[in-house]
């Protein structure tokens, strides 16, 4: 579909303005001429409509949006008789968390904790309904003037028992390198705990002003989280309490079995920090691995980690050529 101009009609919706434009779709603010309700219209780009994998992603996002009902989850609005492929969503006044973080660098600790707690509540609802977001990042969290949050963009969300994804769809279904969980980097399907890891990264970034891992390219960043623990946020911002640092450690555990098992557990600790036990000797000085000799066991371990990352890169290249 061509770019829509202000004043133009798309079925019953009068376009007011373009709001955002990504590689997959364009979002417009519009008015439903039947009742003057302000809505958001998401229109996929022509190449997305022509690609079965991307079209499936778009339809899955709409399906999830129509079946969820939570104040912190963006609602899809039912709309029949479309003359083209698009989805209608509730209009949300606010700003992206990414924009707020870019402006403030480090958020007040109380605000960062409150935002994270609300996201936990939304995730608990989604996970209980068999939905894994899989692409949690500041760009997909909206904040209104009262600090209420709204989760958006379920383009790569997964419903339990959904089919496995093919190699050609990997680049659209594994999330963003800065926030992806270690198990997803290793090619595993991921589950609710993968969302918890991503949220832990977001909390860390809100508190510190940067993500736990950085590198020259996405593959370096992803590999780092597989072979090393997240560095201490408290060493970079002294106001962070030992209890809050402990919460970060639990959310950012490399092994999902050692991580918070539910978003509710994560939220409970955030709201009852005075009851969070701090493990002695847990403070981590660096994201690097301990220095060890390169014996056969170490070389084997590095190889086991490197292969999934290399395969991930290959699949990305294949997907881009798809």
Per residue in 247-299, pLDDT (tens digit) is 999 999 999 999 999 999 999 999 999 999 887 666 654 444 433 333 444 44
According to DSSP, residue 212 is labeled S
| 200 within a domain of the structure (yes/no) | yes
CA atoms within 13 A on the CB side of 140: 23
The answer to whether residues 81 and 211 belong to one domain is no
Q: Which residues of 14-27 are buried (b: 16+ CB within 10 A; e: fewer)?
A: bbbeeeeeeebbbb
Which domain, by its residues, includes 152? 95-320
For residue 161, the domain's CATH number is 1.10.510.10
| CA–CA gap between residue 225 and residue 264 (Å, rounded) | 24
| Structural domain total, the chain | 2
| 3 within a domain of the structure (yes/no) | no
The answer to whether residues 174 and 315 belong to one domain is yes
In sign, the C-alpha dihedral spanning 72, 172, 160, 260 is negative
Domain boundary among 43, 71, 90: 90
The answer to whether residues 112 and 259 belong to one domain is yes
Question: Annotated catalytic residue: which of 35, 95, 121, 135?
Answer: 135
The answer to whether residues 85 and 122 belong to one domain is no
Q: Which two tokens stand for residue 230?
A: 């997240």
The answer to whether residues 179 and 215 belong to one domain is yes
Give the global pTM: 0.82
- Per-position pLDDT tens, the chain of length 322: 678 999 999 999 999 999 988 777 899 999 999 999 999 999 988 877 677 777 777 888 888 888 899 999 999 998 778 888 899 999 999 999 999 999 999 999 999 999 999 999 999 999 999 999 988 999 999 999 888 999 988 777 776 555 443 333 334 445 678 898 999 888 887 899 999 999 999 999 999 999 999 888 888 888 888 888 999 999 999 999 999 999 999 999 999 999 999 999 999 999 999 999 887 666 654 444 433 333 444 444 444 455 455 445 544 443 444 4
| CA–CA gap between residue 157 and residue 167 (Å, rounded) | 17
Domain boundary among 90, 118, 150: 90
- Quote the distance between the C-alpha of residue 167 and its chain's center: 21
User: Could you tell me what percentage of the chain is helix, strand and coil, using 3-state DSSP and rounding each to the nearest 5?
Assistant: 45, 15, 45
| 4 within a domain of the structure (yes/no) | no
Catalytic residue list contains 135: yes
| 2 within a domain of the structure (yes/no) | no
The answer to whether residues 68 and 206 belong to one domain is no
For residue 32, the domain's CATH number is 3.30.200.20
Task: Kindly give, in sequence order, each residue whose CB lies less than 8 Å from that of residue 129, ignoring residues fewer than 6 positions away.
Answer: 67, 68
């Amino acid at each position: 579909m061509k770019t829509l101009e202000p004043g133009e009609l798309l079925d019953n919706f009068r376009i007011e303005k373009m709001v955002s434009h990504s590689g997959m779709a364009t979002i417009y603010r519009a008015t439903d001429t039947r009742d003057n309700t302000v809505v958001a219209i998401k229109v996929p780009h022509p190449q997305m409509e022509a690609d079965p994998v991307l079209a499936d992603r778009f339809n899955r996002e709409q399906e999830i949006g129509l079946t969820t009902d939570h104040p912190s989850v963006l609602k899809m609005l039912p709309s029949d008789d479309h003359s083209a492929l698009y989805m209608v969503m509730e209009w949300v006044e606010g700003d992206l968390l990414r924009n707020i973080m870019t402006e403030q660098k480090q958020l007040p600790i109380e605000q960062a904790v409150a935002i994270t707690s609300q996201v936990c509540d939304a995730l608990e609802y989604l996970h209980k309904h068999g939905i894994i977001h899989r692409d949690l990042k500041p760009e997909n969290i909206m904040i209104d003037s009262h600090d209420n949050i709204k989760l958006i963009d379920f383009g790569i969300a997964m419903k339990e028992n959904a089919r496995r994804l093919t190699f050609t769809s990997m680049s659209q279904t594994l999330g963003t390198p800065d926030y992806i969980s270690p198990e997803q980097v290793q090619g595993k399907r991921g589950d609710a705990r993968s969302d918890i890891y991503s949220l832990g990264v977001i909390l860390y970034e809100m508190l510190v002003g940067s993500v736990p891992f950085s590198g020259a390219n996405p593959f370096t960043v992803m590999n780092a989280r597989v072979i090393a623990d997240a560095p201490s946020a408290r060493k970079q911002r002294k106001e962070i309490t030992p209890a809050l640092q402990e919460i970060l450690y639990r959310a950012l555990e490399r092994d999902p079995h050692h991580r918070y098992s539910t978003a509710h557990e994560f939220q409970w600790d955030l709201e009852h920090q005075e009851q969070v036990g701090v493990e002695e000797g847990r403070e981590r000085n660096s994201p690097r691995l301990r220095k060890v000799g390169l014996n056969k066991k170490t070389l084997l371990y590095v190889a086991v980690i490197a292969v999934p990352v290399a395969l991930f890169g290959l699949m990305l290249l294949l997907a881009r050529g798809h």
